[in-house]
Structure 1
Amino acid sequence: MKYLPCALFLLIMADMIAQDTQKDSITRLDEVVLTQDAIPKKATGITISSKIAGQTFERFNPVDIPSAINQISGVYILSGAINTNRITVRGMGARTPYGTNKLRMYFNGIPVTNGTGSSTIEAFDFENLGAVEVIKGPKASAFGANLGGAILLDTKASVQNRTQLINSFTIGSYNMLKDNLTFSHSEDGLDMSLSYNHLETDGYRQNSQFQRDGLLLNTKLRTGQKSSLALLINYIDYTAHIPSSINLTDFEEDPTRAPSNWFESQGYEANKYILTGLSHSYQFSEQLQNTTSVFYTYLDHYEPRPFDILDEFTNGYGFRSHFTGNWGKADISFGGEFYRDEYHWGTFENLYQENNGNGSLQGSQLSDNSEFRRQFNLFGTFTYPITERLSGQVGLNWNKTHYDFRDLFGDGSDNASAKRDFDAILLPNAGLSYQIKNGSIYANVSRGFSNPSLEETLTPGGVINPDIAQETGTNYELGTDWMLLQKKLSVNLAAYRMDVKNLLVAQRVGEDQYIGRNAGKTRHQGVEVDLLYRGKLSPAITFSPYLSYTLNDHSFVDFVDGDNDYSGNPLTGVPKNRLSSGIDFRHSNGLRLNLTHQFVDEIPMTDSNSITSDAFNVFHAKLGFRTSLSSNISLGMNAGINNIFDINYAQSVLINAVGFGGAQPRYYYPGNGRNYFGGLQLNYVF
């Protein structure tokens, strides 16, 4: 914190110095920020969503997308490493062992959630994003009606009629180096951007080296007065070593450690991921327009773990067609989405103990499998202005899911091939919105679902489990938003309750073996508060304090596990209270200071609630400056400190961890210690 008074002093001194010669350049820089923040809302009709954009992103290290998204109330990313993120929305997904499920994710309108419902936010470079929009709960009829909702990622918008080259370069602790080079061009009928990004770091912990290269091409071409064509290509190639979770002793004594078996095997994952999408938009009339996308995804994944080596690849493809328009006074939206993927994987012995300290060594094959997975969604919404102030909306989503698992390794009775064809499920929602002075009040009732993965439908012996079912839930939500104090204060409040039946839980039966089962009923209820104030300390200095608070009151209503009755216990993996707050200072000459804080309450880590993580507060700070060097060249500089007070905290936890061979269970993923970063951005306008 000793640097913060210096930063505030710089802001005050800057206010005392005339900057008339820079006024034109500052207008130019602000235009870029405003264009990025102006990416339109994608949620349909009066559906409520939360969105963050450029001003939120710039508060953080460009590697740290979890901290940015954690500014949204009700949404929490538990991040064990750059490549190990678990996104939870209102408690949904908190019990997933690794990764993100129970929600749908879209990138520029193209679905990027795979056939079993898994999404990976680390497949996208933070610096390429212009906005992140979150629809919380199952009210997102047009985006899957999953219990956790939907996350909509959008790339930065092009600045109209401008050609520019932007290079952002960042270095930091743990030998971190990141570079993002973007060329963008916009003229009548054509918008195009091409970005290359590189990231490398040794990481805070043992065996946590990470290296990533990526390429993003995003183009849009107007092909006629009523039509346009867009092409999207996103390619990522990264290798991430895996430090894994650690036990309590290591967490308290030396959180930089990796477990001995992961350290000795030098466990890692190597991924090559590509997304390609072609979208066509057509304006049939003033009352009806359509966007149709076809897409293809490919993932090549290789992961040596201490217990085996996983080698897999996935081909996915599909289409999405979305019509929007109006019918008299009503707004209408309808369409369909189809996704199919083919997942092929095998496991092999890991002979790292016989490899003379050189890490993992592939041995004999242990399994060979294929899965064919498909989902089909139909959706529609109808929004009608009942009176001048009151609007109503009804929506419907229809889902059909099919899994086909093929065991290519076992013969006869040892062959575990199986199919699972889920019944079609209908998911309605209804909402009202009433305009009041300086704001609105809204209410929503919606039904959602989550599919089990195909692995969860099988027993440990590979036999189909006919009793496992989709989890379903009904969400009730009431909220309001206001603009107060002459529109300087933004206030958003929401209260909800979601009753979930047939909750899917993963029961650990081995170091990397889980079986799925339905755990009875849970109740998710809570309150979310978002406050933002925009004020002025002087004609040149603005300040914006903000706060996002989440109250999670989630519990098992009916959960009996063998002889243990956990009914009434708080839901595992969810902090009861969470707070994100901070303050932004900006000077008209381009100087800015961002102070951010996050509080996370203790998290129950076992279903019995016998073990919890410690609550923590973590603080970050970032100082930046933007100026023009000439009419064509502008320069940005920034420096920041993460975890200012160097606290030891769990940035993620593993639920219901089990110790094997007499070892302590490994619950904890430590957050980084105090670390520093600094960067330069050079912008050349042709």
Structure 2
Amino acid sequence: MPESNLRSLLGFLLLLLSGNVALAQQTQQDSITQLDEIILLEEITPKKATGITASSTINTQTFERFNPTDIPSAINQISGIYVLSGALNTNRITIRGVGARTPFGTDKLRLYFNGIPVTNGTGFSTIEAFDLENLGSLEVIKGPKGTAYGANLGGAILLNTKLAPEGSTRFVNNFTVGSFNMFKNNLSFSHQEKKFGIKVSYNHLETDGFRQNNRFVRDGLLVNSHVALSSKSTLGFLLNYIDYTAQIPSSISATDFREDPRRAAANWLAARGFEANRYTLAGVYHHYELSNKLKNTTSVFYTYLDHDEPRPFNILEEFTNGFGMRSVFNGDWGQANYTLGGELYKDEYEWSTFRNLFRDRDGDGSFKGDQISDNKEFRTQLNLFGTITYPLSSKFSAQLGLNVNKTDYDFRDLFNTGPENTSAERDFDPIVLPSFGLRYMFDQGQLHANISRGFSSPSLEETLTPDGIINPDIAQETGTSYELGSIFNFLNRKLRVAATLYRMDIQNLLVAQRVGEDQFVGRNAGETRHQGLELDAKYRLLVDKTLVIAPYVSYTLNDHKFVDFVDGDNDFSGNPLTGVPKHRISSGIDVVHKQGFRANLTHLFVDDIPLTDANTLRSEAFNVFNARLSYGIPAANRFSLGVNVGVNNLFNTRFAQSVLINAVGFGGSEPRYFYPGNARNYYGGIRLQYRL
């Protein structure tokens, strides 16, 4: 770790520690009960994870520490999870190191929006399809212990919208402007009564971005509604529509990163590369109480993605139609609680590529040429699951879970004929994924333990050989996770400390090997061992009845290694896992005044990251600080007004916000490993609310 980064990190941690010492000196009369009656720091968020399954949740108060376009920084407040963000439309989420080797995007976890699965048929999830200002909470189940949510090796992320309190009607407009010609507006209407609730939100975002060829424009519509059909029956409807166009600056070389991080990759700039997405999620759910001991929630849903992407090497056009159903029964059986259910997801993926003639256009950007390929794939994911939670005593509980997964791919080559046609099917055998957990509750906290088995299916690219033929030998990754965790409350519950130790052994490691400028193939290359420590501490100091100071810190230790990894003549066994920082710290201080004033200082430290399997190159460690001030003003009986200003990257640090591992230079060019983070930038916003 560079000495300057170490000094900065130690200085900030010393500031946090001094706050903790002051907190420890407060008298017992400053209780958390008294605090909650005066100033609300965090809203209580209902847990969605099944039974005693451990999870981590952030809510509106965490989102509001950051620029409303910056969902990665909000998620990075959680230990054990790290979002690498190359741009607003280029995010890669890793949980406990799982997914770090994926070249682009997020896979090996399952994403849900209001209980509806939105991960596609090969396991890819798109967090940027959702507006941060529409979310009420984000819950993370780390590792495969979430039996009812797919049992993926990475885990699951549960996104949930927020409705108005019962008996209220609200119009809210959030308006934000900032550096790089950023403009964002979110206008929402919400109404909630005992038997009916609805929220309608429209959002618009545009920014030129920090880098060349970095403009982003997005429009979105969210409709979320439910109506009580009877005292036991509720029908709900969800619609989320996103339309965005994002220019792509792509990754850059070490030389460009050092000399001018604003540069775009030369070939992407010449082609004026971009992606255009029109994404729709529509779902209907029905909740029914069969008895006072048995409830069922069933949802049916449809997703549609229309994606166009002119790239230097070709022009991609793709369409995905997805549809499915999820049904969950929750009930009591004597002293035990149980969950039984199933989830079926099917999608039809069509994609074609065309030659890009931008080099013949004299600087006018991409132009479609002859067609190169025409493909279609049918993909099916079936999950059947069940859990039973039994109280062994008033404080001690056990939970047994089981997930069964069946995955099928049917690939059809619609372009080539005869012996050149590469159509094929790949049906994976059913896989059984058990989970067992224990939890012990005591007056000042709890202990929990879990052992579970998980899997990851190969992506589309990983199922193909370099010749575009289905690889019949590719296998699903499988792994076993062991977890031991604790939560302790001290000093009259003003200090909360959580610690988790885990180890996950993964076999049949899926490796995406780059064989062309836009061609990756997969193979099972060996085993990895993921083990680590996650620590979270939050403190609340009641200075007086009007002021709260709350420091917090989250620390992640990633000790992840290749146990057995041989690539051709190279043996990388024993090397640290590529793409994962060994140490990561998220910390900050919230200052909240009863009269509506809030100040937030946040800090992120990321250790250096191995960029090659041989560990011959690493990114530089960095510290980034953000600050935000806000003030709420009750303007009239029914109106309220809030204003906020913020600065990101307070000390103008040059850092890589995302990296590309094992990059290869083509045509004698330098490998492009780095996605630069934004330089120091500013934003300010106004929130206007009208309550009927």
Shorter-chain-normalised TM-score: which range? over 0.9
> SS in structure 1 opposite 2:186?
strand
Structure 1 partner of 2:563: 557
Asked whether the equivalents of residues 57 and 68 of structure 1 are also in contact (C-alpha less than 8 Å), the reply is: yes
Tell me the amino acid that sits aligned with residue 342 of structure 1. Answer: E
Please show how residues 299-448 of structure 1 align to structure 2 within 5 Å: 299-448=305-454
1:539 and 2:545 matched: yes
1:164 and 2:165 matched: no
Q: C-alpha distance in 2, partners of 1:192/1:210?
A: 29
Unmatched segments (≥5 aa) in structure 1? 2-26
Task: Provide the aligned C-alpha RMSD in A.
Answer: 1.4
Q: How far apart are residue 463 of structure 1 and its match?
A: 2.2
Q: C-alpha distance in 2, partners of 1:596/1:435?
A: 32
Asked whether the equivalents of residues 503 and 530 of structure 2 are also in contact (C-alpha less than 8 Å), the reply is: yes
Q: C-alpha distance in 1, partners of 2:610/2:408?
A: 34
Q: C-alpha distance in 2, partners of 1:577/1:457?
A: 33
> SS in structure 1 opposite 2:252?
coil
> SS in structure 1 opposite 2:349?
strand
1:105 and 2:111 matched: yes
Please show how residues 585-664 of structure 1 align to structure 2 within 5 Å: 585-664=591-670
Q: C-alpha distance in 1, partners of 2:336/2:128?
A: 39
1:631-669 per-residue CA deviation (whole Å, 9 max, x = no partner) reads 100001000000011011000000100000100000000
Q: How far apart are residue 455 of structure 1 and its match?
A: 2.4
> SS in structure 1 opposite 2:451?
strand
- Of 449, 454, 457, 1:451 maps to 457
Structure 1 partner of 2:3: none
1:241 and 2:247 matched: yes
Q: C-alpha distance in 2, partners of 1:154/1:28?
A: 26
Q: 1:241 to 1:30 in 2, by over 3 A?
A: farther
Q: 1:29 to 1:165 in 2, by over 3 A?
A: farther
Q: 1:581 to 1:681 in 2, by over 3 A?
A: same
Deviates more, 1:367-376 or 1:157-166: 157-166
Q: TM-score, normalised by structure 1?
A: 0.95
> SS in structure 1 opposite 2:663?
coil
Structure 2 partner of 1:10: none
Q: C-alpha distance in 2, partners of 1:49/1:296?
A: 28
Q: C-alpha distance in 2, partners of 1:301/1:28?
A: 49
Q: C-alpha distance in 1, partners of 2:190/2:153?
A: 37
Q: C-alpha distance in 2, partners of 1:331/1:248?
A: 55
Asked whether the equivalents of residues 79 and 86 of structure 1 are also in contact (C-alpha less than 8 Å), the reply is: yes
Tell me the amino acid that sits aligned with residue 363 of structure 2. Answer: G
Structure 1 partner of 2:132: 126
Q: C-alpha distance in 1, partners of 2:452/2:291?
A: 32
Asked whether the equivalents of residues 129 and 279 of structure 2 are also in contact (C-alpha less than 8 Å), the reply is: yes
Q: How far apart are residue 354 of structure 1 and its match?
A: 1.1
Structure 2 partner of 1:19: none
1:65 and 2:93 matched: no
1:39 and 2:45 matched: yes
Q: C-alpha distance in 1, partners of 2:343/2:38?
A: 39
Unmatched segments (≥5 aa) in structure 2? 1-7, 9-35
Tell me the amino acid that sits aligned with residue 115 of structure 1. Answer: G
Tell me the amino acid that sits aligned with residue 348 of structure 1. Answer: F
Q: TM-score, normalised by structure 2?
A: 0.94
Q: C-alpha distance in 2, partners of 1:40/1:277?
A: 22
- Of 454, 475, 479, 1:473 maps to 479
Structure 1 partner of 2:4: none
Q: How far apart are residue 536 of structure 1 and its match?
A: 1.5
Q: Percent identity?
A: 64
Q: How far apart are residue 627 of structure 1 and its match?
A: 1.5
Q: How far apart are residue 186 of structure 1 and its match?
A: 1.2
- Of 198, 205, 212, 1:199 maps to 205
- Of 673, 684, 687, 1:681 maps to 687
Structure 2 partner of 1:292: 298
Q: C-alpha distance in 1, partners of 2:668/2:39?
A: 59
1:524-581 per-residue CA deviation (whole Å, 9 max, x = no partner) reads 0000001101111222110110000000000000000000000000000000000000
Q: C-alpha distance in 1, partners of 2:233/2:464?
A: 47
Tell me the amino acid that sits aligned with residue 136 of structure 2. Answer: G
> SS in structure 2 opposite 1:559?
strand
Structure 1 partner of 2:23: none
Q: How far apart are residue 29 of structure 1 and its match?
A: 12
Structure 2 partner of 1:137: 143
Please show how residues 484-495 of structure 1 align to structure 2 within 5 Å: 484-495=490-501
Structure 1 partner of 2:31: none
Asked whether the equivalents of residues 315 and 355 of structure 2 are also in contact (C-alpha less than 8 Å), the reply is: yes
Q: C-alpha distance in 1, partners of 2:172/2:271?
A: 40
1:216-245 per-residue CA deviation (whole Å, 9 max, x = no partner) reads 000011110101001000000000000000
Q: How far apart are residue 193 of structure 1 and its match?
A: 0.5
Q: C-alpha distance in 1, partners of 2:367/2:468?
A: 27
Q: How far apart are residue 456 of structure 1 and its match?
A: 1.1
> SS in structure 2 opposite 1:663?
coil
> SS in structure 2 opposite 1:547?
strand
Q: C-alpha distance in 2, partners of 1:356/1:435?
A: 69
Q: C-alpha distance in 2, partners of 1:276/1:464?
A: 32
Structure 2 partner of 1:13: none
Q: How far apart are residue 30 of structure 1 and its match?
A: 7.4
Q: C-alpha distance in 2, partners of 1:200/1:559?
A: 44
1:228 and 2:226 matched: no
Asked whether the equivalents of residues 246 and 276 of structure 2 are also in contact (C-alpha less than 8 Å), the reply is: yes
Tell me the amino acid that sits aligned with residue 577 of structure 1. Answer: H
Q: How far apart are residue 325 of structure 1 and its match?
A: 1.5
Asked whether the equivalents of residues 445 and 477 of structure 1 are also in contact (C-alpha less than 8 Å), the reply is: yes
Task: Return structure 1 stretches of 4+ with deviation > 3 angstroms.
Answer: 27-31
Q: C-alpha distance in 2, partners of 1:260/1:495?
A: 44
Asked whether the equivalents of residues 39 and 157 of structure 1 are also in contact (C-alpha less than 8 Å), the reply is: no
Asked whether the equivalents of residues 618 and 645 of structure 1 are also in contact (C-alpha less than 8 Å), the reply is: yes
Asked whether the equivalents of residues 405 and 454 of structure 1 are also in contact (C-alpha less than 8 Å), the reply is: no
> SS in structure 2 opposite 1:127?
helix
Structure 2 partner of 1:85: 91
Q: C-alpha distance in 1, partners of 2:218/2:299?
A: 28
